[in-house]
Amino acid sequence: MGLLGRLFGGVLLCAASLGLTGAAWGADGASHGDQGVTHMPDVTFTLRTSIAGGKLVFIGERGAITDQVNPDLRVPEGAVVQINLINDDGATHDIAVPDFNAHSDHISGKGAATAIVFRASKNGTFEYLCTLPGHKAAGMVGKLIVGEPLKEVKTQAPQIAHDPSQVGTPVGKRGPQKVTVDLLTTEIEGRLGDNSTYRFWTFNNKVPGPFIRVRVGDDVTINVTNPKDSTHIHSIDLHAVTGPGGGADVTQVPPGQTKSFSFKALHPGLFVYHCATPMVAQHITNGMYGMILVEPEGGLSKVDHEFYVMQGELYTAQVHGASGLQEFSLEKLLAENPEHVMFNGSMDALTKVYSMESSVGDTVRIFFGVGGPNLTSSFHVIGEVFDRVYNQASLTSKPLTDVQTTLVPPGGATMVEFKTDFPGQYVLVDHALSRVEKGVAGFLTVKGKADPAIFHSDEPMEMHGH
């Protein structure tokens, strides 16, 4: 019986028992690497390839890592490590630990198997991954932790991501009134991801800034305060304003000052606002954007859930996924080549930091805008169809119906509504899907009883991307 038969049949033989002296072997029985392993493995792991949560992944097959996605593999320093890989999705894969020069052969077809063997000769945290083009980016990467490496320090920086459920109070049936909005411009090092930060520029310490909610006919006063410890002038341009610069001409606020203006909300709709101090694109990418909803007379129709979601971009000198403080790159901004694309300010704002939930039979409304400053979004919810789309956020036009994906330009917005008919995890994306790998994703979790007349399958229920 060959190696594949031994692996898949449950008899796992070590390198020494097969007469191998290399660091790894593949399905052809050939050894790979130069670690000179001649001992029986001290530690053995078995992984299988799979698709989970819309990503290609490794899943732990046995022992303490059973059913874990991309599990951490912990081994003592100096241990001889064997990692077995079973193909459980039918695509072509391999497994490698480049830092220890351990690489398997490619395996294709469900049930195929391979393995690597190497000595974990140095302390630290290292990657194991599939080396097929695009597979690491698609999710096939995990950590090999050797010995007692220095613990990664979780970022303790302030949480600047905006809670999508914070949408203000609907205006209802009230008449026009005077409304005052106080905005504080801040420059703070905030959390970008678990191990990364960025020096954001914000309105009220959140990205996007506060969701401003008024009624057509209201007289709105905007007060913009720039703290004395700021290093830049800031301002605000609200696309809902009829007046010079949307307010920006009179709110160029130096550090330590406050400036104000008032406007009448003449047009109902959902509008973007942003800082408009030169260089405007830099102020926007750093986080100075948000939305103002001008509700029509009588307000909006009642729904069960409303969410506030904005898409933005960060242009950093460091590559996506780097740890530590990320620094702004003017060169990448001008080239319109962002390292990070996100919803609500951080890499995981809508997948980990905040939850968006609904129940079967509920109606959901999403106020969606693009701060930008450069990319147009193809807004889409995987597994749902928008019942109504208020194109370009026009609330006085008849909405589009039964829409799959809607375009939203930078500095633009839309309002979408739909009924959640079936339980599961639905993924918000920009359907320019390479951007998902740069961070732009969110989860809407729908709870309740499944109706097989709407959807049924013999396969286990799991939300996959498409």
CATH number at residue 235: 2.60.40.420
Distance of CA 73 to the CA centre of its chain: 25
Using alpha carbons, list the distances in angstroms from residue 95 to 83, 114, 135, 420: 8, 8, 11, 40
Q: Is residue 289 part of a domain?
A: yes
Q: What's the chain's length in residues?
A: 466
Give the model's pLDDT for residue 461: 58
Same structural domain, 324 and 246: no
Give the model's pLDDT for residue 150: 59
Residue for token pair 């260089």 = 279
Give the model's pLDDT for residue 460: 62
Residue 36 has pLDDT above 50, yes or no: no
Given 103, 122, 146, the domain boundary residue is 146
Q: What is the mean pLDDT of residues 347-371?
A: 97
Q: Is residue 277 part of a domain?
A: yes
Number of domains comprising the chain: 3
Confidence of residue 7 (pLDDT cuts 50, 70, 90): very low
Residue 313 has pLDDT above 60, yes or no: yes
Token pair recorded at residue 412: 């633009």
Give the model's pLDDT for residue 137: 85
Given 97, 122, 146, the domain boundary residue is 146
Distance CA 406, CA 318 (A): 31
Q: Is residue 377 part of a domain?
A: yes
Same structural domain, 226 and 277: yes
**For the chain, what is the radius of gyration of the CA atoms?**
26
Give the model's pLDDT for residue 52: 85
Inter-residue contact 224 to 290 (CB < 8 Å) = no
Q: What is the mean pLDDT of residues 270-276?
A: 98
Q: What is the mean pLDDT of residues 195-207?
A: 97
Q: Which residue has the higher pLDDT, 113 or 460?
A: 113
Confidence of residue 315 (pLDDT cuts 50, 70, 90): very high
Q: Is residue 229 part of a domain?
A: yes
Same structural domain, 45 and 102: yes
Inter-residue contact 7 to 86 (CB < 8 Å) = yes
328-340 pLDDT tens trace: 999 999 999 999 9
Same structural domain, 364 and 336: yes
For the ranges 24-28, 87-91, 305-309, the lowest mean pLDDT is seen at 24-28
Q: Using CA atoms in the order 248, 253, 257, 259, what is the torsion angle rounded to 10 degrees?
A: -10
Give the model's pLDDT for residue 391: 97
42-75 pLDDT tens trace: 999 999 999 987 789 999 998 999 999 999 999 9
Distance CA 91, CA 390 (A): 41
Q: How confident is the prediction for the chain on average, in pLDDT?
A: 90
Look up the domain containing 432 and give its range: 305-447
pTM: 0.80
Same structural domain, 428 and 319: yes
Q: What is the mean pLDDT of residues 298-317?
A: 98
Q: Is residue 452 part of a domain?
A: no
- Helix (H) / strand (E) containing 47: strand 43-52
Partnered with residue 426 across adjacent β-strands are: 444
Same structural domain, 289 and 311: no
Same structural domain, 247 and 137: no
161: left (phi over 0), alpha (psi -120 to 50) or beta: beta
Same structural domain, 88 and 45: yes
Same structural domain, 338 and 435: yes
Residue 5 has pLDDT above 90, yes or no: no
Token pair recorded at residue 410: 């930078």
Q: Is residue 165 part of a domain?
A: no
Q: Is residue 154 part of a domain?
A: no
Q: Is the peptide bond before 373 cis (omega within 30 degrees of 0)?
A: yes
Same structural domain, 427 and 370: yes
Same structural domain, 136 and 13: yes
Inter-residue contact 14 to 41 (CB < 8 Å) = yes
Residue 227 CB partners (closer than 8 Å, separation 6+): 184, 185, 186, 255, 256
Confidence of residue 154 (pLDDT cuts 50, 70, 90): low
106-153 pLDDT tens trace: 999 999 999 999 999 999 999 999 999 989 988 899 999 999 865 555
Helix (H, G, I), strand (E, B) or coil at 141: strand
Q: Is residue 191 part of a domain?
A: yes
Same structural domain, 436 and 407: yes
Give the model's pLDDT for residue 153: 54
